[in-house]
Amino acid sequence: MTIVEGPVREAVPQGPLKTPFYPRVAKIDTVNQWHEWKGFSSPDALYCEDLEYFSIRNGTAVFDLSPMTKYRVTGPDAMDYLNRLVTRDMAKIKPGRVAYAVWCDDQGQVIDDGTIFHLREGEYRICCQERHFAWFQAATIGFDVDVVHETEDIAGLAVQGPTSYSVLKTMGVEGLEDLKPFGLIHVDFQGTEMMVSRTGFTADLGYELWIDPAKALDLWDALFEAGENFKIRAIGTHALELARIEAGYLAPYAEFLPVDETIRTGRSRSPLELGLEWLVDFKKPNFNGRRALAEEKRKGSTWRLVKLDIEGNKVADSSYIFSNSKAKGESIGFITSAAWSPVCKQNIALGTVRTPHGKPGDTVWVEIYYQREMHWNREMAKATVVDKPFWFPPRRGATPPGPY
Amino acid sequence: MTKSMGEKYDAIVVGAGHNGLVCSALLAKAGKRVLVLEANQQVGGAAITREFADGYLVSACAHLLYQLQPEVRKELKLATRLATEDMTTIALGEDGKHVRLKTDSVEGVSDEDAKQYRDFRKRMARFAKLLRKVFNKTPPRLGNQDFQDFLTYAQLGLDVRMLGKAEMEAFLRLIFMNIHDEVTERFEHPMLKGAISLDAVLGTHLGPRSPNTMMTYLYRLAGDQGRAGVPAGGMGSVSNELAQAARGAGVTIRTGMPVKRIIIENGRATGVETESGERFDSYKVISNADPKTTLMKLIGAKHAETGFARRVSHIRARGNAAKLHLALDGLPAIEGLSRKDFAERLVIAPDEHYVERAFNPAKYGESSPNPVIEITFPSFRDETLAPTGKHVMSAVVQYAPYGLKGGWNEEAKAAFMKAIIDTLAKYMPDIEQRITASELLTPADIENEFHITGGHWHHGELSLDQFLFVRPVNGAAQYQLPIDGVYLCGAGAHPGGGISGAAGRNAARAILRREKAA
């Protein structure tokens, strides 16, 4: 018998994968609370959720977002491809710019949202929560375009908070003065190209850094060294989630269910139902969902996403929403995300209600259940539908950012 | 550069196949200005008569007429002259003992088989009548509130219910079944089982044990109970008659004008551009081409939404039927046949397993070493097709998979040709000596000559997942694509292929109805 030597294959990893930053994150961790995020271990918290949260609002928070799903889109038709894929007009997104975008199926129901980085002329990266290779691949039919899944090829860090600009400057990143929100630049980090984008999930001043995984640990070390005097801290997802709700951003499986995960009709949402009409450009002659969305716009939507400012301090998790204080009749919707906002000192929530309810300024009632010494209590809390994000400080948009 | 031809048409039909002609004629009769552009020099698509050898003419693809819908005949006042009609199917036996199948009787089998055949055909006639009604309507959309769709559903439900309890149950049981189970339940005589199995699978990528071959059998009967005839002058006569009806109604037909693309501007069709660079304007472009060609080549998938483009790209259209044309210096000798039997339809499918075994290699990209064959001698009753005293044999031969391993090169064709001649020789010992010229069209040739994806008769498999409300795919079953101004009128649309005119007629009616509603 002859033995043919084949290529050496690495063993298939057992259990959740470790991100390129795992050795550093695990070292800081003191509470051992982890969850799985698209196959990777990701911390809920590292030492104290509250402190971690305040580092977002008062210092610099560092969050390992390497598990974010990433696809590279290249080829002569890359822009046309994306323009058909997403609802907004990608022709307006020049190289060096980032677009928040949402993509739908043919029925105009949201598959996911994410950010699309126009890295260089005709070269894009889609960054999102869920995996979409089958859909993105199907969408290539008729286009001269390549779509490559590159989640594991790029390590990512979110660096968010008022002192983040100072931290990165101290680390030696040049060109940040002119970098506006949703802009990106390519810089040198110790001889390796690093992409810096002024993006984030916190509605605060902040950046995201993208680099070859081989340089991940060096980046981490340099960042924390630079941040020493700027209250830099690593954070877990719970702190980020709180900031996300304050920002009024959507999360899949909270504000919407990706349509390909729904079984019952009516459980998915359209961009119009998620307050994303500004992202839907009907001037484009064709994009996925266009026909259905035009029809929905004509007929009116079923659901509306609302941001609620709720009286009292009891968090309205999973509550029903009513049009009246007596909870008479059917509920008009329900809460999808809720929190006490430390920075706004407000009881806030995101929810989904049936139209025509939930216009900005409307009063609705939230049925909150809470427990006191085992016994359950119920409270009907008055809530106001608000238009603006709960947290959106001027420093988020200031260019150049202030040296906090 | 394209130059616009100035004239604006109410509708442009891409392709002068028989369905395109029917559709254009009906639209013109309703007062529309219609232009038909045909790539080939001759109208008719796969329904043409052409010379294949010096002095020998043949129906180059479709050769039997059995489905032309009475509605089409009536509305276009067709008076097709048939050289042969109500043909008997003679299942050939190697020993000269043949079985003769007629519409509702069979000879050459046991009394029990003969009785079963009568019952079987009576039931099939009932079901086929029901299907025929469905075939001549636009299929209703699934899950919508349209009143017309509701009526169509209600009518379909009522028709099924009106069969009576026992027959309704039989219908619902049989329609999803395969033909093999039904013939083995009912009949004893292997040749009877073989001949019926063959009828269920002709023109498909299906064997008798494949799902829904009961439905494909009924499909065949949904014209005039499957009574087949041969038009005088070949199938081209039907197309010429249709073209005449269309021209008479005011349609402009231009041949030798291959359409390069359907022009989509601002998300809607605005006309077509020909290979020669001419542009014709119209807000309605009706494609007689198959759905894949229409979307992928003529329109460009980028103009559709992703889900739709994906569905169209997944349409199964793997042709499996080859067409054989032989020029003969005289009729071959077949034991047990009288001379007048050469006017009938002869089939080689000696038993039901033979048909399935012929299909087996096709699943793996190989042609059948022992093919099933449907044979006619059109020149027997039609002297115009061959020189005096000479004859033409026109045969459909299965299975010859479109995606043959290694491709349909000369060697592969020669090998398949040999398998066919060897098979024929078992029944016609002198066939090889009689041949003076021959032509074998594989599905790849059919694709080239008639511009049909996969060379598939039906422009897409006739299977339940590509049938009725989902033919060709969900979202286009009402003859309209989800791209404004583009319509389908060919075999890829409901109900499917065969020289029936149903798709063309339904498309015209759907377009006119929609226009009225708008």
* Chain A residue at shortest CA distance from B297: A142
> In A, which residues are within 8 Å of B266 by CB distance?
285
Inter-chain touch B306–A84, beta carbons under 8 Å? yes
Question: For residue B284, what is the enclosing H or E element?
Answer: none
pLDDT of res. B4: 55
d(CA A330, CA B132): 49
Chain B residue closest in CA terms to A77:
B302
**Does the distance separating the beta carbons of B306 and A139 come in below 8 Å?**
yes
Q: Which pLDDT band holds residue A242 (cuts at 50, 70, 90)?
A: very high
For chain A, domain boundaries: 22-66+154-247, 69-152, 302-389
Beta-carbon count within 10 A of A231 CB: 17
| Structure tokens belonging to residue B107 | 């000879």
Do B390 and B503 sit in the same domain of this protein?
no
Cβ–Cβ contact B427 with A under 8 A: no
Inter-residue contact B486 to B291 (CB < 8 Å):
no
- Answer yes or no: do B119 and B217 share one domain: yes
Per the CB < 8 A criterion, the answer to whether B356 and B207 are in contact is yes
Query: Are the beta carbons of B267 and A290 separated by less than 8 Å?
Result: yes
Number of domains in chain B: 2
- A145 CB neighbours in chain B (<8 A) are none
Q: Does the structure show a pLDDT above 60 at B2?
A: no
Would the pLDDT of B1 be above 50? no
| pLDDT score of A107 | 96
B192 to B40, B66, B146, B159, B180: CA distances (angstroms): 40, 20, 45, 30, 12
- pLDDT per residue over B285-343, tens digit each? 999 999 999 999 999 999 999 999 999 999 999 999 999 999 999 999 999 999 999 99
Alpha carbons A82 and B383: distance in angstroms, whole number: 62
The mean pLDDT value of chain B amounts to 95
Statement to judge: residues B371 and B239 lie in one domain: no
- Type and span of the H or E element at B72: helix B70-75
Q: What is the mean pLDDT of residues A175-202?
A: 97
Beta strands at A206-211 and A192-197: parallel, antiparallel or unpaired? antiparallel
Residues of chain B contacting A135 with CB distance shorter than 8 Å: 306
B143 and B199 share one domain: yes
Q: Which of A168-172, A278-282, B512-516 has the lowest mean pLDDT?
A: B512-516
pLDDT at A2: 65
Tell me if B296 and A142 make a contact (CB, 8 A cut-off). yes
Whether residue A69 has pLDDT greater than 50: yes
pLDDT in tens, B340-355: 999 999 999 999 999 9
Q: What is the pLDDT of residue B468?
A: 87
A404 CA: distance to closest CA in chain B (Å): 47
User: Does B300 touch chain A if contact means CB atoms closer than 8 Å?
Assistant: yes
Mean pLDDT of B241-259: 98
Q: Do B309 and A142 touch (CB under 8 A)?
A: yes
| CATH number of the domain where residue B337 is located | 3.90.660
What pLDDT score was predicted for residue B226?
Answer: 87
- Contact of B261 with chain A, judged by CB distance below 8 Å, is answered with no
| Residue B30, in any domain of the structure | yes
Helix (H) or strand (E) holding B64: none
Q: Are residues B250 and B337 in the same domain?
A: no
Verify that B90 and B110 share a domain, yes or no. Answer: yes
pLDDT of res. B518: 76
Which residues form the domain of B220?
52-67+85-232+321-399+405-441
CATH of domain A302-389: 2.40.30.110
Query: Is residue B246 domain-shared with residue B275, that is, in the same domain?
Result: yes
> Mean per-residue pLDDT for B395-422?
97
User: What's the confidence (pLDDT) of residue B5?
Assistant: 52
Domain boundary at B388, B413, B441, which? Answer: B441
Is there a contact between A138 and B310 if contact means CB atoms under 8 Å apart?
A: yes
Q: Per residue in A126-153, pLDDT tens?
A: 999 999 999 999 999 999 999 999 999 9
- pLDDT digits over A76-121, tens only? 999 999 999 999 999 999 999 999 999 999 999 999 999 999 999 9
Per the domain annotation, does B135 fall within a domain?
A: yes
Coil/strand/helix, residue A84: helix
Rounded mean pLDDT of B1-9?
A: 62
Say whether both B145 and B110 belong to one domain: yes
Percentage of the residues of chain B whose pLDDT score is greater than 90: 89
CA distance B429 to B126: 41
Tell me, what DSSP letter sits at residue B302? G
Question: CA angle, corner B269, sides to B267 and B273, nearest 5?
Answer: 125
Q: List residues of A whose CB lies inside 8 A of any B CB.
A: 77, 80, 84-85, 105-106, 135, 138-139, 141-143, 285-291
Q: Give me the mean pLDDT over the A182-188 stretch.
A: 98
Same domain, B35 and B56: no
pLDDT of residue A13: 77
B366-400 confidence digits (pLDDT tens): 999 999 999 999 999 999 999 999 999 999 999 99
Which pLDDT value is given to residue B39?
97
Is the predicted pLDDT of residue A10 greater than 90, yes or no?
no
B337 and B475, same domain (yes or no)? no
CATH topology of domain A22-66+154-247: Gyrase A; domain 2 (3.30.1360)
Q: What is the DSSP string of B83-118?
A: EE-SPPEEE--TTS--EEE-SS-EESS-HHHHHHHH
Stretch B200-228: mean pLDDT: 94
B327 & B307 share domain: no
Whether residue A9 has pLDDT greater than 80: no
Q: Does B145 touch chain A (CB under 8 A)?
A: no
CATH level 2 (architecture), domain A69-152: 2-Layer Sandwich (3.30)
ipTM above 0.85, yes or no: yes
Q: Which residues of A touch B264 (CB under 8 A)?
A: 285
Q: B484: distance to nearest CA of chain A, Å?
A: 10
As beta bridge partners, residue A385 has A308
**pLDDT at position A3:** 66
Within-domain flag for B75: no
Q: What is the CATH number of the domain that holds B508?
A: 3.50.50.60
| Statement to judge: residues B373 and B507 lie in one domain | no
